[in-house]
């Protein structure tokens, strides 16, 4: 069946911000989808609240709305744009759920819009637990005994009948949010209550635990003619019980006999046929390791995280094919773009294995609960490819950037055998390493299999790794991923290394040399502090270089990204971003140079080692990069330039830290040098904090010193600039709503920076001493503050001889400007500033880094023209998925993603940003205030503002007393939890009377603390909890401005 010609204008819904369970894979999928629609001449309306995406780039769609992904807003966009159809299956759970809501309330029918891909009935039958169970029963597919519960009692009585443990899975939540394994009634009560509250339809599934069975997934593709194929099978190293997103996964299955494989394959096909899926679909099954009994776990009737993995593992472009199917094509009409000669109607076959290794945030969140279960906790993942599991696993570990190049975890060396055995009883992110330690000690494979149920095949692989001699310095050989195990010639292959082989398939490509070659290093796995923004930057760098006639080679290992798509670069090496692996490729390709400036900290970290080995670093020099990271060199530079920075010292141990802090005076800021996203960064208010911090930081080996700085609480200003070594362009100056102390990635960032006069009105800022005299910058008239910032930026750029991008964070404190951080590379604000200003920052930076001047590119130096719109970047967190974690914002970054609000005024943009971040904006109810001593004066003003808005004010003892003492009437006093009162803060939160919590504390991240409990409870209940008074003030102003979702302007950024 050829393409459906009635489709002329399609809306593509993205997946919104990166959160745990929904990462970059949907940008990759959505971008592929848009390209397919473009090829077929379909006009595209794109909606996504996440600005750090390729899909929201102006060349990807015709109309681009970076707007909140809410029902109201999307409806308004449909009314404005009048698309004839919506592509629902490529925007993750967010896109699918929105599409379904639009379909169900009759809006799509009314507007004459149809859903492309699977029908709403199909999606319902796959997603609604009861309908799914019924369908499976009809076609004789076994499900796990379970009950669908809309209330707690149903769950409890089922568990009474079946016996514990039972597994709870809430309906319509992504990444298993709110799910878990309950071992007893008490646990079930807690998990089920949470699950019910998180499910948009208040429904959970409670099922028999089949923990220990093999977990197997099939990626299936079906078209409307009923042709269905398996694209990839995957087997989890971790048996059932650990969320598949948190499991080590191998593709294809490796322990299933053909009979077992075919049984599950046929089951998967029967399931997608019965559901009448059109497009990509993921089927998860469990197989009893001691019989041929199996059970269907679940079906995702859409492109998923596993699809991205399956795509990259096999070379089969799942999102592309799913989109083609959605617009009417059948599988036998779609060409396999990797071979160029065969069709999409075939099953990829591999002659290698791909291993996925999750990237967890526990290195940053030392107090978060590291237990793995049905709630996904990983923020990202790496994939590695080799022709045996052992090599692939080691590559994955090396590429995961967890400080390990082998399976030896130093922490375990001193443990007793008993302690090792005990650790194995609990599944954590470190189980692989504990298993390896156990194997090293000679604990038998049988025993380990009994304890963990990990298949003996995997355990024997670990034993093989232990027995094999340390890696020989054998040259690596590169092989192609070609979808067909060599049966057909590949046109757009990508490469992976193996150790034992003769033929190097990359060599003919590497030796061609008809164009100058450049290697671009990617950013590795998505983690807190290094998200999709850096893949965005890399992709733009690659595109620009290709346009300029370079042959571009990408090295990256993140399967979720656009940069690892088969046709982004001329050549892709799917390899770890580890110095040895990278050098092997460099030695083979012999490029003109390597670009490290777009791959975030991952690429920057390699600079020193690359330079040491004589590799040409294109753009800003390795030496300049080192100056920015090396404390004493950086201080020298600032001193020579006469630029102020907060006083500070470099230290190596706890005593030195205490001494330095005493000299500086508390509070001080502590952080390791060479870090990403403020990892392990804290503000210490007293010596005890220093001791606690140093204990944590010294757990892992520190090659670089720890930095101790005087902490200045001022206004934070951020600048992204481009310099060609001579001229400097600042596309935009941003300010942060929150004062310094909150990591820039967790702050609400506003572009353009407000005028000085407005800045002065902010709470707590009366110290500005900069006059309102107009100044000149590169021939432009501007205000004095901007001029000063420009001059400082220019000085730094020239001194560092920056050739490309630079990101500088300033703090305005007592009327003076201090530099707090300089990063000579792409930053996380680059995508959004590029989009709002229309300045293609990555493209310009790429061009200047290879020697063009801004003048040659027709770009005048100075500060970019301020547009008519204000853009507000709002951070998005995944706190509900990380039990035990204190949600207080501080110098260590905690957000996983971001959204953007664009409006005519700051308040409109802020309102849209907050709505897009899924902040539950209520205009009535109560405010619970509990603030530290130093915040009380300021809290008074905030309380007044909320009171004027009509909120009831509740406060804990000290805060309430302060308010009352300052003539603030009608404060209701709430008991703390520790006082064991019947009515305390937590019961108040649960009563539903509270709309917002404002909670600041002086110290501590320990989950046992009262304030931490309040904040966690609020988070679980979905009550916005503001831990910075600046955020609280901004929110009040925003509420006061009176915007609602019907009154905001819908901004098509492609047609500003």
Partner 1 sequence: MTAYLILENGRVFQGEFFGAAGEAVGEVVFTTGMTGYLETITDPGYHGQIILQSFPLIGNYGVIPADLEKDSISAKAYICKYPCQEPSNYRNEGDLDTFFMSKGIVGVKGIDTRALAKLIRDNGVMNAKITSQPPTEADRVQAAAYKIEAAIPAVSCKEVKTYGSGNLHVALLDFGMKDSLVKSLMARGCKVSVFPHDASPNMIMSMRPDGIMLSSGPGDPADPTNQVIIDNLKELIKLDIPMFGVCMGHLLLARAKGFETTKMKFGHHGSNQPVKDLKTGRVYISSQNHGYAAVAAREDCYFVNVNDGSCEGMDYGRSFSVQFQPEGRSGPTDTAFLFDKFVENMKEARNA
353 or 368: CB nearest partner 1: 353
Say how far apart CA 813 and CA 767 lie, in whole Å: 7
349 or 853: CB nearest partner 1: 349
Q: Where in 492-511 is the site for partner 1 (CB under 8 A)?
A: 500-503
Q: Where in 305-344 is the site for partner 1 (CB under 8 A)?
A: 330-332, 341-343
Binding partner 1 (rule: CB under 8 A), the pick from 486, 774, 815, 950 is: 486
DSSP of 469-487, one letter per residue? PSPP-PPPEEEEE-SBTTS
334 or 750: CB nearest partner 1: 334
- The set of residues, in sequence order, having a beta carbon less than 8 Å from that of 984 and lying 6+ positions away, is 974, 975, 976, 977
By the rule CB under 8 A, 387 interacts with partner 1: yes
Binding window for partner 1 (CB under 8 A); candidates: 83-91, 259-267, 552-560, 992-1000: 259-267
By the rule CB under 8 A, 485 interacts with partner 1: yes
351 or 688: CB nearest partner 1: 351
Find, among 51, 72, 69, the residue nearest to 60 by Cα: 51
Q: How far is the CB of 503 from partner 1 (least distance, A)?
A: 4
Long-range Cβ pairs for the range 497-501 (8 Å, 24+): 497/386, 497/573, 497/575, 497/581, 497/584, 498/352, 498/386, 498/387, 498/388, 498/391, 499/386, 499/391, 499/471, 499/472, 499/474, 500/387, 500/474, 501/387, 501/477
Over 823-860, what HEC string results?
ECCCCCCHHHHHHHHCCCHHHHHHHHHCCCCCCCCCCC
Q: How far is the CB of 219 from partner 1 (least distance, A)?
A: 14
Binding window for partner 1 (CB under 8 A); candidates: 315-323, 385-393, 555-563, 881-889: 385-393
User: Residue 596 in contact with residue 603, Cβ under 8 Å?
Assistant: yes
Rama region for 1030: left / alpha / beta (φ>0; ψ in -120 to 50; rest): alpha
Binding window for partner 1 (CB under 8 A); candidates: 286-294, 366-374, 732-740, 828-836: 286-294
Long-range Cβ pairs for the range 339-345 (8 Å, 24+): 339/482, 339/483, 339/484, 339/488, 339/489, 339/490, 339/491, 340/491, 340/492, 341/488, 341/489, 342/484, 342/488, 344/221, 344/316, 345/227, 345/229
Binding window for partner 1 (CB under 8 A); candidates: 111-119, 252-260, 424-432, 764-772: 252-260
479 or 540: CB nearest partner 1: 479
Find, among 243, 233, 179, 220, the residue nearest to 302 by Cα: 220
Binding window for partner 1 (CB under 8 A); candidates: 6-14, 152-160, 285-293, 610-618: 285-293
Residue 65's Cβ-side half-sphere holds a number of Cα atoms within 13 Å equal to 27
Say how far apart CA 202 and CA 195 lie, in whole Å: 8
By the rule CB under 8 A, 1056 interacts with partner 1: no
Binding window for partner 1 (CB under 8 A); candidates: 382-390, 650-658, 741-749, 853-861: 382-390
Q: Residue 306 is encoded by which pair of tokens?
A: 């596993």
Binding window for partner 1 (CB under 8 A); candidates: 450-458, 591-599, 732-740, 755-763: 450-458
463 or 548: CB nearest partner 1: 463
13 or 438: CB nearest partner 1: 438
By the rule CB under 8 A, 641 interacts with partner 1: no
496 or 566: CB nearest partner 1: 496
Tell whether the torsion through CA atoms of 1010, 1012, 1014 and 1020 is positive or negative: negative
By the rule CB under 8 A, 451 interacts with partner 1: no
Residue 528's Cβ-side half-sphere holds a number of Cα atoms within 13 Å equal to 28
Helix axis angle for 71-81 and 92-104, nearest 10°, is 70
33 or 251: CB nearest partner 1: 251
Map residue 1045 onto helix, strand or coil: coil
By the rule CB under 8 A, 139 interacts with partner 1: no
Binding partner 1 (rule: CB under 8 A), the pick from 71, 119, 211, 225 is: 225
Number of residues that bind partner 1 (CB under 8 A): 56
Say how far apart CA 454 and CA 447 lie, in whole Å: 11
258 or 924: CB nearest partner 1: 258
Buried residues in 783-798 as b, exposed as e (16+ CB within 10 A) = bebbbbbbebbbbbbe
Binding partner 1 (rule: CB under 8 A), the pick from 208, 324, 479, 894 is: 479
Say how far apart CA 96 and CA 74 lie, in whole Å: 13
By the rule CB under 8 A, 230 interacts with partner 1: yes
Helix axis angle for 654-664 and 687-697, nearest 10°, is 140
Binding-site string for partner 1 from residue 48 to residue 77, where x marks contact by CB under 8 A and - marks none: ------------------------------
269 or 1050: CB nearest partner 1: 269
392 or 928: CB nearest partner 1: 392
Binding partner 1 (rule: CB under 8 A), the pick from 64, 167, 256, 1012 is: 256
Q: How far is the CB of 4 from partner 1 (least distance, A)?
A: 16
CB atoms within 10 A of CB 456: 14
Rama region for 46: left / alpha / beta (φ>0; ψ in -120 to 50; rest): beta
224 or 847: CB nearest partner 1: 224
Say how far apart CA 1051 and CA 76 lie, in whole Å: 11
Binding partner 1 (rule: CB under 8 A), the pick from 70, 154, 255, 406 is: 255
Binding window for partner 1 (CB under 8 A); candidates: 160-168, 224-232, 436-444, 874-882: 224-232
* Helix H or strand E encompassing 394: helix 389-399
Q: What CA–CA distances, in Å, run from 179 to 143, 369, 883?
A: 18, 15, 12
- The set of residues, in sequence order, having a beta carbon less than 8 Å from that of 905 and lying 6+ positions away, is 870, 1041
Q: How far is the CB of 331 from partner 1 (least distance, A)?
A: 6
Q: Which residues pair with 170 in a beta bridge?
A: 204
Residue 200's Cβ-side half-sphere holds a number of Cα atoms within 13 Å equal to 11
Residue 598's Cβ-side half-sphere holds a number of Cα atoms within 13 Å equal to 34
Binding partner 1 (rule: CB under 8 A), the pick from 183, 200, 226, 340 is: 226
261 or 536: CB nearest partner 1: 261
Binding partner 1 (rule: CB under 8 A), the pick from 229, 296, 657, 681 is: 229
Q: How far is the CB of 228 from partner 1 (least distance, A)?
A: 8
340 or 815: CB nearest partner 1: 340
By the rule CB under 8 A, 773 interacts with partner 1: no
285 or 664: CB nearest partner 1: 285
By the rule CB under 8 A, 564 interacts with partner 1: no
Binding partner 1 (rule: CB under 8 A), the pick from 357, 389, 436, 711 is: 389
Binding-site string for partner 1 from residue 76 to residue 115, where x marks contact by CB under 8 A and - marks none: ----------------------------------------
User: Residue 28 in contact with residue 304, Cβ under 8 Å?
Assistant: no
By the rule CB under 8 A, 259 interacts with partner 1: yes
Find, among 931, 920, 930, 933, the residue nearest to 954 by Cα: 930
Q: Which residues pair with 154 in a beta bridge?
A: none
By the rule CB under 8 A, 348 interacts with partner 1: yes
Binding-site string for partner 1 from residue 175 to residue 214, where x marks contact by CB under 8 A and - marks none: ----------------------------------------
Binding partner 1 (rule: CB under 8 A), the pick from 26, 294, 316, 352 is: 352
Binding partner 1 (rule: CB under 8 A), the pick from 220, 313, 350, 734 is: 350
Q: What is the CA radius of gyration of the chain?
A: 28
Residues forming contacts to partner 1 in the complex (CB under 8 A) are 225-227, 229-230, 252-259, 261-262, 265-266, 269, 289-291, 330-332, 341-343, 345-353, 387-389, 445, 455-457, 460, 463, 479, 484-489, 500-503
């Amino acid at each position: 069946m050829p393409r459906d010609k009635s489709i002329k204008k399609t809306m593509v819904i993205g997946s919104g911000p990166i959160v745990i369970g929904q990462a970059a894979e949907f940008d990759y999928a959505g971008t592929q989808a848009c390209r397919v629609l473009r090829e077929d001449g379909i006009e595209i309306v794109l909606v996504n609240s996440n600005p750090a995406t390729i899909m929201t780039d102006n060349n990807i769609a015709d109309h681009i709305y970076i707007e909140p992904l809410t029902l109201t807003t999307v409806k308004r966009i449909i009314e404005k744009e009048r698309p004839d159809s919506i592509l629902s299956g490529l925007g993750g759970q967010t896109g699918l759920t929105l599409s379904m809501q639009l379909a169900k309330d009759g809006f799509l029918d009314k507007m004459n819009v149809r859903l492309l891909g699977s029908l709403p009935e199909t999606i319902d039958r796959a997603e609604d637990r009861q309908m799914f169970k019924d369908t499976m029963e009809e076609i004789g597919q076994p499900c796990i005994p379970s009950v669908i519960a809309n209330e707690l009692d149903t769950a409890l009585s089922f568990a009474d009948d079946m016996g514990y443990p039972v597994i709870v899975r809430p309906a319509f939540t992504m990444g298993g949010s709110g799910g878990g394994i309950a071992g007893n009634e008490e646990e079930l009560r807690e998990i089920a209550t949470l699950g019910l509250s998180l499910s948009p339809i208040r429904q959970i599934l409670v099922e028999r635990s089949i923990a220990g069975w093999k977990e197997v997934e099939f990626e299936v593709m079906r078209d409307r003619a009923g042709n269905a194929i398996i694209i990839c099978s995957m087997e989890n190293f971790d048996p059932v019980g650990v969320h598949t997103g948190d499991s080590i996964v191998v593709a294809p299955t490796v322990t299933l006999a053909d009979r077992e494989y075919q049984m599950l394959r046929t089951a998967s096909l029967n399931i997608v046929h019965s559901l009448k899926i059109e497009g990509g679909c993921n089927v998860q099954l469990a197989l009893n390791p001691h019989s041929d009994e199996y059970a269907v776990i679940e079906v995702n009737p859409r492109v998923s995280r596993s699809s991205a993995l399956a795509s990259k593992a096999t070379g089969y472009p799942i999102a592309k094919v799913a989109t083609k199917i959605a617009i009417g094509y059948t599988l036998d009409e779609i060409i396999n773009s990797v071979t160029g000669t065969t069709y999409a109607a075939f099953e990829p076959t591999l002659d290698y294995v791909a291993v996925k290794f999750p990237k967890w945030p526990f290195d940053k969140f030392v107090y978060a609960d590291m237990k793995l279960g049905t709630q996904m906790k990983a923020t990202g993942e790496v994939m590695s490819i080799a022709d045996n599991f052992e090599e692939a696993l080691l590559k994955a570990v090396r590429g995961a950037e967890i400080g390990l190049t082998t399976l030896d975890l130093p922490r375990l060396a001193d443990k007793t055998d008993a302690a090792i055995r005990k650790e194995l009883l609990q599944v954590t992110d470190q189980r692989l390493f504990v298993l390896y330690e156990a194997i090293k000690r000679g604990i038998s494979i049988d025993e380990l299999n009994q304890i963990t149920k990990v298949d003996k095949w995997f355990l024997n692989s670990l034993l093989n790794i232990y027995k094999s001699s340390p890696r020989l310095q054998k040259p690596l050989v590169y092989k192609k991923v070609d979808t067909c195990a060599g049966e057909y010639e590949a046109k757009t292959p990508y490469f992976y290394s193996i150790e034992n082989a003769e033929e190097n398939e990359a060599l003919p490509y590497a030796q061609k040399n008809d164009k100058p070659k450049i290697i671009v290093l990617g950013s590795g796995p998505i983690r807190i502090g290094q998200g999709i923004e850096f893949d965005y930057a890399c992709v733009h760098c690659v595109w620009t270089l290709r346009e300029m006639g370079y042959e571009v080679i990408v090295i990256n290992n993140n399967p979720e990204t656009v940069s690892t798509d088969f046709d982004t670069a001329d050549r892709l090496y799917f390899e770890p971003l580890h110095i040895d692996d990278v050098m092997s490729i460099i030695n083979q390709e012999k490029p003109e140079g390597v670009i490290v400036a777009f791959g975030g900290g991952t690429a920057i970290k390699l600079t020193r080692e690359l330079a040491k080995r004589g590799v040409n670093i294109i753009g800003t020099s390795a030496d300049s990069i080192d100056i920015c990271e090396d404390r004493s060199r950086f201080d020298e530079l600032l001193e020579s330039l006469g630029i102020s920075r907060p006083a500070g010292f470099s230290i190596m141990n706890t005593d030195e830290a205490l001494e330095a802090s005493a000299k500086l005076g508390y509070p001080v800021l502590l952080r390791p040098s060479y870090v990403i996203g403020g990892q392990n960064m804290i503000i210490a208010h007293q010596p005890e904090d220093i001791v606690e911090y140093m204990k944590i930081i010294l757990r892992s080996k520190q090659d670089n010193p720890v930095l101790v700085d005087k902490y200045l609480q001022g206004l934070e200003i951020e600048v992204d600039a481009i310099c060609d070594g001579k001229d400097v362009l600042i596309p935009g100056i941003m300010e942060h709503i929150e004062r310094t102390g909150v990591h820039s990635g967790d702050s609400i960032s506003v572009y353009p920076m407000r005028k000085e006069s407005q800045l002065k009105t902010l709470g707590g800022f009366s110290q500005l001493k900069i006059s309102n005299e107009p100044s000149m910058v590169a021939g432009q008239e501007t205000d004095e503050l901007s001029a000063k910032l420009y001059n400082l930026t220019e000085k730094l750029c020239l001194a560092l001889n920056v050739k490309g991008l630079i990101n500088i964070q300033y703090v305005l404190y007592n009327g003076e400007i201090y530099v707090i951080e300089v990063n000579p590379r792409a930053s996380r604000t680059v995508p959004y500033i590029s989009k709002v200003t229309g300045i293609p920052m990555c493209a310009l930076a790429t061009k200047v880094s290879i020697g063009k001047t801004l003048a040659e590119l027709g770009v005048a130096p100075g500060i970019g023209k301020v547009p008519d719109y204000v853009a507000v970047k709002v951070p998005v967190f995944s706190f509900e998925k990380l039990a035990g974690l204190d949600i207080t914002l501080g110098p260590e970054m905690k957000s996983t993603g971001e959204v953007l609000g664009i409006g005519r005024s700051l308040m409109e943009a802020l309102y849209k940003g907050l709505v897009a971040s899924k902040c539950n904006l209520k205009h009535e109810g109560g405010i619970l205030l509990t603030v530290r001593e130093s915040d009380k004066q300021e809290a008074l003003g905030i309380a007044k503002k909320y009171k004027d808005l009509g909120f009831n004010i509740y406060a804990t003892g000290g805060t309430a007393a302060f308010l009352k003492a300052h003539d603030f009437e009608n404060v209701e006093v709430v008991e703390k939890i520790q006082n064991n009162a019947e009515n305390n803060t937590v019961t108040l939160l649960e009563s539903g009377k509270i709309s917002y919590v404002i909670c600041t504390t002086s110290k501590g991240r320990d989950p046992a603390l009262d304030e931490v409990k309040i904040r966690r409870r609020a988070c679980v209940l979905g009550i916005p909890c503001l831990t910075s008074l600046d955020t609280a003030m901004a929110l009040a102003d925003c509420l006061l401005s009176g915007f609602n979702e019907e009154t905001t302007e819908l901004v098509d950024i492609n047609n500003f």
